[in-house]
Amino acid sequence: MKNKIIALMLSLFLLIGLCGCATSKNPNSNKDNKKPENNKNTTISIAYNGTDSFNPFIAETSLNRNVSTLIFDSLFFIDNNYNLQNNLAESYEIDGKVCTVKIKNTVFSDGTVLTAEDVIYSFKAAKSASGRYKQQLKSIIDVSANGSEITFTCSKNDPYMLNLLTFPIIKKESDKLTDEDKIALPPIGCGRYSLSDDKTTLIANKKWHGGKLNIKTIRLINAPDRESLSHAVEIGAIDIYYTDLSDGTILRMSGTRQDVNLNNLVYIGINHSRSLMQNSNMRQAISAAIDRTKICESAYFTNAVAATGIFNPSWTPTKSIQSIETSANSEISIENLEEIGYNKKDNGVYYENANGDTITVRLLVNKENQFRLNLADMVVNQLKSVGIKVIVDKVPYKNYVTLLKQGDFDLYIGEVNILDNMDVTELLCAGGKAAYGIKKDDTTNKTTQDMIKSFYDGKATVADIAAYAISEMPIIPICYRTGVLLCSEDVIVKTEACSGNIYFPINTMKIN
């Protein structure tokens, strides 16, 4: 009997010892990020890529970059009409090249206080990362802190510099954390949700500065490739799906649909080295012949908004200024052609001048993008209706880029993502990354550069740039593409998504 009592006591001591020696595998873990039980009234599912990172500065897939917006908040975000909205920013001031932002009194999901040093650390991580954030923050050349205030210095007097401060905020050096196997852990954020220890669920952050969320948990469905994503959508395994339609295809889901404005301008670029294209009347003739409304409907299957000028038609500061007709106006085209001597038709089809020369232009297009191929075909027919002949050169993307750099084209179909501060320098000024066909010594280029310089010197407004781009037409704006957010029938959506915060509707979302 005595031996049994001793054995029982030893077992008890061993059990207590084992409990006392238990260690957490995740240094980020806290009582809130354990995987909860699912409740159909407070749980939804979204897709992610299990082979990619949740670190917003190194994530390679759009799926994970979008998921990261649920974990990490930013100082500001841009809504669906490109208006600036405060997020972690309490207030701000702009004075010339300098803006000062005061951050809210809030905490990260692990309970530690958000500081200006965390913002500066995140800014430097974003600026040194490859891709979107590096380009976005290129013009912000210095940052410093004083208490809860952060001062950003821009390389120029940019009245819209705050629109660039949408990079995610992570806890300082939390991107260096690893588990006991030396595998990198996701950084710590102060967003709406935090990641469960097994990285398969997002859990509502009870410390979030925005208040309580109706959706308490979000299941993450692994979709590492196009086929698995398509299958997940088709069988209803996910409740929310977003695509920017960059590849020209869309998956179907029964439920509700939201169009998401993108700052992606589709345009016809012009080779200003060609004598005929140097004439603004010729550029105006081409522009007026384009039926932008029909192109949005037929070439982009309504996943685009007709351009009324160089800037996004949803943007308030230029909405009343931009006046390009979205339907074709053949009378304006013919008037401009007559101004440059093309006033009679050859065999009733193409206009010719006094020497019997007709107008024939070559249009370069990337044949791997179905939207742009559709657009090219429509441009051929629309320009033919005003007596201009178009020959389309459909080439693979690699050849397309080579020909653009060589200037071997008359016109080309291009697409550019304009930064949220609406800076069009890279598109309209010679030497810009997207300014193919624009010559340094061209009169139009010099005038464009002077106009943009005047804007950043505070001597011109963005409305002046918009009006100039319409009158001189250095490029021909066609449309702005839109993305699509699809939600299942069980999801009640009350707010709009926006390109920088795709899952913004989750803030007020409910489940039937």
pTM: 0.90
What is the token pair recorded at 43?
A: 């749980």
Q: What is the DSSP string of 180-249?
A: TT-PBPPPP--SSEEE-TTSSEEEE-TT-TT---S--EEEEEE--SHHHHHHHHHTT--SEEEE--TTS-
Tens of pLDDT along the chain (512 residues) come to: 444 334 434 343 433 343 443 333 444 444 555 555 556 689 999 999 999 999 999 999 999 999 999 999 999 999 999 999 999 999 999 999 999 999 999 999 999 999 999 999 999 999 999 888 999 999 999 999 999 999 999 999 999 999 999 999 999 999 999 988 888 899 999 999 999 998 999 999 999 999 999 999 999 999 999 999 999 998 999 999 999 998 777 778 888 999 999 999 999 999 999 999 999 999 999 999 999 999 999 999 999 999 999 999 999 999 889 999 999 999 999 999 999 999 888 777 898 998 989 999 999 999 999 999 999 999 999 999 999 999 999 999 999 999 999 999 999 999 999 999 999 999 999 999 999 999 898 889 999 999 999 999 999 999 999 999 999 999 999 999 999 999 999 999 989 999 989 999 999 999 98
CA–CA dist 50, 37 (Å, integer): 21
Domains 43-239+490-511 and 261-483 share a fold: no
Pick the CATH number of 261-483 from 3.40.50.620, 1.20.190.20, 3.10.105.10, 3.20.20.70: 3.10.105.10
Strands 193-195 and 98-103: unpaired
CA separation (Å) from 4 to 8, 10, 11, 353? 6, 10, 11, 114
Domain boundaries, the chain: 43-239+490-511, 261-483
Ramachandran region of residue 49, left (φ > 0), alpha (ψ -120 to 50) or beta? Answer: beta
43-239+490-511 maps to CATH 3.40.1190.20: no
Dihedral, CA atoms, 370, 372, 375, 381, nearest 10 degrees?
A: -90
